Amino acid sequence: MGNIAAALAQIRQGRVEQAALEQLLAAGEADMPLLRAAADEVRRQTVGEAVHLRAIIEFSNYCRKNCLYCGLRRDNHTLARYRLEDEQILAAADSAHRLGYRTVVLQSGEDPHYSAGKIARLVERIKEKYDLAITLSLGERSKEDYCLWRRAGADRYLLKQETADEALFRFLKPDTSLKQRLNCLYWLKELDYQVGSGNMVGLPGQSLSTLARDILLMRQLQVDMAGIGPFLPHPQTPLKDFPAGQLNLCLKTLAVARLSLPGAHLPATTALSTLHPSGRELALQWGANVIMPNLTPLAVRDKYLIYPQKADIIEEPEKTLVQINSLLARLNRPVAAGPGHAWRLTGGN
């Protein structure tokens, strides 16, 4: 208990250092309530009680990359591929608006079929019709593409670093490098996007030191959002035989991220809900303040399988919203009324 209390005190004083983060990540069962309470209190003091709902529209599962952990990898020839037409994407955005969501997340594999201009026109059409914040999550693109989308009205961009370990990154993602990924993140910051990143917990070859470095990198980047979820093995990938990330370590990583990135938006990830049936509720108790319901059309949703058995495959939008409202009422956490822009821009409002 003493080491955990000392590490928490150090971070509260603004000294966020590798050794303290590793101590917290190594917390045993008896120390976890103290860590959870500390993260929950920081969440309450910074981003507040409200939970932001962000609707995900996964519009293409084609991907040019061959990441070892991902079911969308180009060498997975068992996957039935799909691409949504513009009108289908707009219909999903309309559904999000109708249900009261204030943000849509347009996400896909790295699919060159969608040119920069095509994405820009889609962003413009959504912005013209709806009062919605738009997050893009389309992978590594050129600075010119990012610039075009920002001018079209995109507010945010999500690009996970996955790991701060350069060698592990190169192993997991043979088509790119950590340096290129960081270049993209710095371009996005330069273009005044609200920037999201994130990591996976339980990757083969990962250590507590790696996880601490992940959090320090996100702190260095001053990310506005950090998506943290477990590694989940997919049977059609080279990592199919490795074990999934552990629930307790995921929760500890989420808590340490909240302590280290006090104003960042932290989602209760679908991956955590897939790992554990109460994953969403637990995440909200360990520092999370965002839920990202899936509004991808049900006809194709089961084909966007980065990992198997995704918890949201059969969730119907209306029923999902009822379930979320019920969960938040039980936790005494209101749904946020605003679009949930970066805390640094709004002071938490």
Query: What residue segments make up the domains of the chain, in order of their start?
Result: 2-340
Token pair of 166, please? 């350069």
Q: What band does 311 get if pLDDT is binned at 50, 70 and 90?
A: low
Q: CA 341 to CA 349: how far, in whole Å?
A: 8
Q: Within its chain, how far is the Cα of 250 from the centroid?
A: 13
Instruction: Label residues 163-192 b or e (16+ Cβ within 10 Å = b).
Output: bbbeebbebbbeebebeebbebbebbbebe
Q: How many residues does the chain have?
A: 349
Q: CA 266 to CA 39: how far, in whole Å?
A: 12
Query: Smallest Cα–Cα separation from 193: which of 184, 201, 202?
Result: 184
Which pTM was predicted?
0.96
Q: Inform me whether the pLDDT recorded for 156 exceeds 80.
A: yes
Q: Supply the CATH classification number for the domain 2-340.
A: 3.20.20.70
- For 73-104, write each residue's pLDDT tens digit: 999 999 999 999 999 999 999 999 999 999 99
Q: CA 47 to CA 44: how far, in whole Å?
A: 6
First to last CA, the chain: 35
CA distances from 321 to 49, 110, 295 (A): 18, 29, 11
Q: Inform me whether the pLDDT recorded for 348 exceeds 60.
A: no
